[in-house]
Amino acid sequence: MSKVFSIAVAGNPNCGKTTIFNALTGTRQHVGNWPGVTVERKDGRLVYREQTYQVVDLPGTYSLSTYSIEEIVARDYIVQDAPDIIINVVDAANLERNLFLTTQLIEIGRPLVIVLNMMDMAYEKGLKIDTETLGIILGAPVVPVVGRTGQGIELLKEKINRVQTQISEKARYIEIPFQRDIETQIEIIRSALVQSGLPLANPRWVAVKLLEKDERIWKYLTDFPEKNHLREIVAGAVAQIEKIFKDSSRAAISHARYGFIRGAIQECVQNTIVDPVDYSRKIDKILTHRILGLPIFAVFMWLMFVFTFEVGAYPMAWIDSGVSWVVNTLYTILPHSMLTSLVVDGAISGVGAIAVFLPNIFILFFIIALLEDTGYMARMAFIMDRVMHALGLHGKAFIPMVMGFGCNVPAIMGTRILESRRDRILTTLINPFMSCSARLPVYILVAGAFFPQHAGTVIFAMYLTGVVAAILSGKLFSKTVLRGKSKPFVLELPPYQRPKMSALLLHTWERGQIFIRKMSTVILVGAIIVWALGYFPRDVKYATDYNAKYTHLKQTYQNQQVSVKQAFENSVAAQRRQYFSTMVPFRSSTHYQELTNQRDSLLQKNTAWYRTEVVKVDYAKNAEAMEQKWIGKLGKIIEPFVAPLGFTWREGVALITGFVAKEIVVSTYGVLFGVGNMATEQNPGIITSLKTSGMTPLIALGFLVFVLLYTPCLATMAAIRRETGSLGWTSFSIIYSLSLAWLLAYGLYRIGSALQWLS
Amino acid sequence: MGTQSGHQARHRLRADGLRLSDLHPGEHGRILEMGGSEHFRIRLMEMGLLINDSVEVDKFAPLQDPMEIIVKGYHLSLRRMDAEKIRVELVKPDE
């Protein structure tokens, strides 16, 4: 067993870093988060010539200054975990800006292999790059690669192997030279660091960082004997540079790095075409056109919505019927016991209710991958930034907001496309107010019952209320709890690219499996809790003697069946006498046929009647039982809390079960009113029961507002927990939405009552 | 000619010179000075916007903000309020 070497892949966003990472590791990948932060971390393995490499995909960054979490994560990994090799992926068609990160990687001084990716695009642009000379100048092997086709990947593996095994191939450490005035100050700080005797791997790099006023670098200097003295030295050096350059020391150093890059490019890059064709620019002339841009964008959004939710509805129905089939089959196979109920009613039905969202989620993630890989995502941000900026958000935040109308779970997971953590949290927090499709059945039921003439208007008003709540909450959060530094919007619009199916599927799977893995555990627990609330305690004392009802029903049914058969026999006997004279046998006569048909239909009708009556008794029994189960008791406990809104314990119970999934509110009502738990919107029983339960149109409206705004469902809460990475934000979201729902419903009820409106 | 006189008019609007956000699509500007916070200026440098660099304004978004510029051969989008912090002079495309 030889040692496993570690490789870190670094590079700018849009440089094709992920393509290179995928090409190196294949499907042997693991997606997770960097500890403590919600920055995606991808790990993979490369085996080449019997040597195993652990490959980490660092977040894409333009620099290693420490302004963003991504940059901090990338730099900390390089400095603290000291990977054996750093692969720096560089976009050959955009060399000058990409090399800025390279200069910083060179300064850190870990063994480096530079991958010149997108050589084909550079060639199209008419750029001829002398990779040999570039390698000499940068002090690291340079490998030209076309990531999309895999050209050059074998050579890259070979180079990685040689850098690791052959000393002669090892990157020779070069220093990025600065102007004399800067060098003098670097030297002053460097010698102070060296004299302290602190074991620093690269004192020159630390000195440069100190000059750049990088506060995080002090983390490595905790053991420095005279820190105050060092601070004085640094402050003096910074002041000296700022006096000479009449600019901040950071800017002066950045300028110097670009100076080095320009020199390298002059040496190694030849421009063979004066005015290359910019295909992307031509496409953008239409897609971000002054007038056409917005309609085209709207059509794309609409298509995304249709694909995710309408096309997704087919596999959704398959899963739904699959789950029902499993539930029914298990019920017939397994003996009726608590364990059966736990497995079937609790686990399978509960998880099944969430599993139906899988197709939506996978389709959405596929579309997001498509938008990202083609480059249109950046254009969406470009087009929508003005609108989202008004909410204190980045243009890209528009996508998860719209997706929230479908389902908040994929929408919240979609906030990963946002780069800043603050934007991600803000978008996540306001997303549940976008009224998801699961709330629609509740609106249809309640609005249909109480506002039959204006159901459409009421439902539309709910959607609108949700949007307004999201906007106002967004404004409120960005002014209070999420004030933070608003980052300047500096967004690269990368060239359009033809996406690769394998990459799209890989990205879809990477994100989708997180949903499967994490959600199933949370949902499982939640579903079992709700099941237990409705299952215990087992001994229920019924006020009505249901057994007598069942017996009575059965008796009536059987009597009726007997009398129908008797009537048939009598008719046959009567008719047969008439047929005696004819030659036709009575049993083959049409008359006899009619009589049998009549009998059969009566028998069937009777059976159907019996079944519905039994179900009605079942429902009534269930409703009475519910009141005595924990869930009913819970409803009674929270009754004082919802009573000011005009709600009864039934609404309380419905709202509690709505935590699992909001559409369950409808079926809970069905159970509570004893009209069936498979209640549909068309079920007249539930509507009648609602109307006679003492609920007024005003209370109903308040109830709808509450359902719209209150604590999101379990799956959404799990998504919030996952994407914010914090229990604090999750609880905040729960408490905030619950309070908002309560206050608005209360306000509506109070004001409405005072005005005697809708009473 | 039209853009030239337009530029003159725009130029007169500001006492302290033309800004990147004042340029029209297709116009080129040379960066003279970058204002705003140090964070902002460093971020722009990391993205390749340096003093003395020439940039071309490609277009404005359909809702007029942000704007798209071409710098070092690639396309970059900035909000107008940020572009307003960048002082430029109008130059001919080949300069």
- Residues A589-611 have a mean pLDDT of 89
pLDDT at A727: 92
A-interface mutation test, from B40, B41, B44, B47, most A Cβ less than 10 A away: B47
**In whole angstroms, what is the distance from residue A27 CA to residue A141 CA?**
27
Q: Which residue of B has its CA nearest to A254?
A: B45
Q: How many other β-carbons are positioned within 10 Å of the β-carbon of residue A694?
A: 10
Count CA atoms closer than 13 A to A203's CA, side-chain side.
16
Minimum-distance CB partner of B47 among A255, A485, A490: A490
Strand ranges across the sheet with B86-91: A490-493, B74-78, B67-71, B54-60, B28-34, B86-91
State the DSSP code for A196.
T
Mean pLDDT, chain A, rounded, equals 86
Span A453-469, pLDDT tens digits: 888 889 889 988 999 99
Q: What percent of chain A is predicted at pLDDT more than 90? A: 38
In A, which residues are within 8 Å of B42 by CB distance?
A: 65, 67, 250-251, 254
In B, which residues are within 8 Å of A96 by CB distance?
A: 48, 72-73
* Residue found under tokens 């002014």: A479
Helix or strand holding residue A129 (H, E): strand A127-129
Using H for helix, E for strand and C for coil, what is the string for A613-682? Answer: HHHHHHHHHHHHHHHHCHHHHHHHHHHHHHHHHCCCHHHHHHHHHCCCCCCHHHHHHHHHCCCCCCCCCC
In A, which residues are within 8 Å of B73 by CB distance?
A: 93-94, 96, 125
Cis peptide before A111 (omega within 30 of 0): no
Band the pLDDT of A545: cuts 50, 70, 90: confident
pLDDT at B56: 95
Highest average pLDDT, of A221-230, A497-506, A533-542, comes from A497-506
B-interface mutation test, from A65, A75, A97, A486, most B Cβ less than 10 A away: A97
In A, which residues are within 8 Å of B38 by CB distance?
A: 248, 250-251
Band the pLDDT of A37: cuts 50, 70, 90: low
Q: How many other β-carbons are positioned within 10 Å of the β-carbon of residue A283?
A: 16
Span A255-304, pLDDT tens digits: 999 999 999 999 999 988 777 788 899 999 999 999 999 999 989 988 88
Query: Quick check: B48 and A97 CB within 8 A?
Result: yes
Minimum-distance CB partner of B62 among A248, A258, A290: A290
Band the pLDDT of A674: cuts 50, 70, 90: low
pLDDT at A177: 87
User: B50: distance to nearest CA of chain A, Å?
Assistant: 7
Ranges A476-490, A527-541, A578-592: which has the least confidence: A578-592
**In whole angstroms, what is the distance from residue A702 CA to residue A691 CA?**
15
pLDDT at A200: 82
Ranges A26-35, A111-120, A315-324, A715-724: which has the least confidence: A26-35
A65 at the B interface (CB within 8 A)? yes
pLDDT at B4: 45
CB A513 within 8 A of CB A361: no
- Please return the burial class of A133, using the count of CB atoms within 10 Å of its CB with bins 0-12, 13-18 and 19+: middle
Span A362-403, pLDDT tens digits: 888 898 889 888 999 889 889 999 988 888 888 888 888 887
Question: A563-593 as b/e, with b when 16 or more CB fall inside 10 Å?
Answer: ebeeebeebbeeeeeeeeeeeeeeeeeeebe
Q: Distances in Å between the alpha carbon of A718 and those of A345, A420, A710, A726?
A: 21, 21, 15, 11
Band the pLDDT of A519: cuts 50, 70, 90: low
In B, which residues are within 8 Å of A294 by CB distance?
A: 62-63
A99 at the B interface (CB within 8 A)? no
Strand ranges across the sheet with A112-117: A29-33, A40-48, A51-57, A5-11, A85-91, A112-117, A142-144
| Structural tokens at position A382 | 């470009």
DSSP characters for B12-57?
HH-TT--BGGGPPTT-EEEEEEE-S-HHHHHHHHHTT--TT-EEEE
How are beta strands A112-117 and A85-91 bridged, if at all?
Answer: parallel
User: B38: distance to nearest CA of chain A, Å?
Assistant: 8
How are beta strands A51-57 and A5-11 bridged, if at all?
Answer: parallel
Single pTM value for the model: 0.78
User: Whose CA is closest to A708, among A520, A438, A325?
Assistant: A438
Q: Distances in Å between the alpha carbon of A25 and those of A29, A113, A409, A626?
A: 7, 17, 30, 55
User: Whose CA is closest to B55, among B36, B81, B39, B78?
Assistant: B78
Band the pLDDT of A310: cuts 50, 70, 90: confident
Band the pLDDT of A199: cuts 50, 70, 90: confident
Instruction: Report the DSSP beta bridge partners of residue A42.
Output: A31, A57
CB A240 within 8 A of CB A179: no
User: Whose CA is closest to A707, among A670, A669, A675, A679?
Assistant: A669
> Does A526 or B41 have the greater pLDDT score?
B41
**In whole angstroms, what is the distance from residue A705 CA to residue A744 CA?**
7
Using H for helix, E for strand and C for coil, what is the string for A242-270? Answer: HHHHCCCHHHHHHHHHHHHHHHHHHHHEE
pLDDT at A374: 92
**In whole angstroms, what is the distance from residue A323 CA to residue A299 CA?**
35
B-interface mutation test, from A273, A382, A393, most B Cβ less than 10 A away: A382
Cis peptide before A697 (omega within 30 of 0): no
Residue A180 predicted with pLDDT over 80:
yes
Q: How many CB pairs under 8 A join A and B?
A: 119
Query: Quick check: B59 and A294 CB within 8 A?
Result: no
In A, which residues are within 8 Å of B43 by CB distance?
A: 67, 487-488, 490
Minimum-distance CB partner of B62 among A63, A65, A293: A293
Residue B6 predicted with pLDDT over 70:
no
pLDDT at A167: 58
Q: Say which residues have a Cβ less than 8 Å from residue A253's Cβ, sequence separation at least 6.
A: A178, A182, A208, A211, A212
Band the pLDDT of A632: cuts 50, 70, 90: confident
Query: Interior CA angle at A195 toward A190 and A201, to 5°?
Result: 60
Span A50-95, pLDDT tens digits: 899 999 999 899 999 867 778 888 999 999 899 999 999 999 999 9
User: A381: distance to nearest CA of chain B, Å?
Assistant: 10
> Does B28 or A361 have the greater pLDDT score?
B28
**In whole angstroms, what is the distance from residue A220 CA to residue A9 CA?**
23
Minimum-distance CB partner of B77 among A289, A382, A495: A382
pLDDT at A708: 95
- Please return the burial class of B43, using the count of CB atoms within 10 Å of its CB with bins 0-12, 13-18 and 19+: buried
**In whole angstroms, what is the distance from residue A696 CA to residue A646 CA?**
9
In B, which residues are within 8 Å of A386 by CB distance?
A: 61, 63-66
In B, which residues are within 8 Å of A382 by CB distance?
A: 61, 66, 68, 77
pLDDT at A585: 75
Minimum-distance CB partner of A94 among B46, B74, B79: B74
State the DSSP code for A344.
I
Q: Which residue of B has its CA nearest to A61?
A: B46
Count CA atoms closer than 13 A to B11's CA, side-chain side.
10
Count CA atoms closer than 13 A to A713's CA, side-chain side.
29
Span A675-688, pLDDT tens digits: 654 444 445 566 77
pLDDT at B2: 41
**In whole angstroms, what is the distance from residue B28 CA to residue B24 CA?**
9
Count CA atoms closer than 13 A to A431's CA, side-chain side.
33
**In whole angstroms, what is the distance from residue A210 CA to residue A44 CA?**
34
User: A651: distance to nearest CA of chain B, Å?
Assistant: 45
> In this structure, which amino acid lies at residue A197?
G
pLDDT at A735: 95
Span B48-86, pLDDT tens digits: 999 999 999 999 999 998 999 999 889 999 999 999 999
Minimum-distance CB partner of A387 among B63, B75, B79: B63
CB A100 within 8 A of CB A261: yes
| Structural tokens at position A400 | 């998860």
Query: Quick check: B62 and A492 CB within 8 A?
Result: no
In A, which residues are within 8 Å of B64 by CB distance?
A: 386
pLDDT at A645: 93
pLDDT at A135: 92
Span A118-171, pLDDT tens digits: 999 999 889 999 999 999 999 899 999 998 889 999 999 999 988 877 655 555
pLDDT at A678: 43
pLDDT at A484: 66
Q: Say which residues have a Cβ less than 8 Å from residue A53's Cβ, sequence separation at least 6.
A: A4, A5, A6, A7, A45, A46, A47, A85, A160
**In whole angstroms, what is the distance from residue B80 CA to residue B86 CA?**
10
**In whole angstroms, what is the distance from residue A409 CA to residue A714 CA?**
10
> In this structure, which amino acid lies at residue A746?
Y
> Does A74 or A33 have the greater pLDDT score?
A74
- Residues A179-202 have a mean pLDDT of 89
Residue B95 predicted with pLDDT over 60:
no
**In whole angstroms, what is the distance from residue A4 CA to residue A16 CA?**
25
State the DSSP code for A494.
P
User: Whose CA is closest to A102, among A319, A260, A307?
Assistant: A260
Minimum-distance CB partner of B74 among A97, A248, A250: A97
Band the pLDDT of A518: cuts 50, 70, 90: low
**In whole angstroms, what is the distance from residue A254 CA to residue A99 CA?**
12
Query: Quick check: A382 and B66 CB within 8 A?
Result: yes
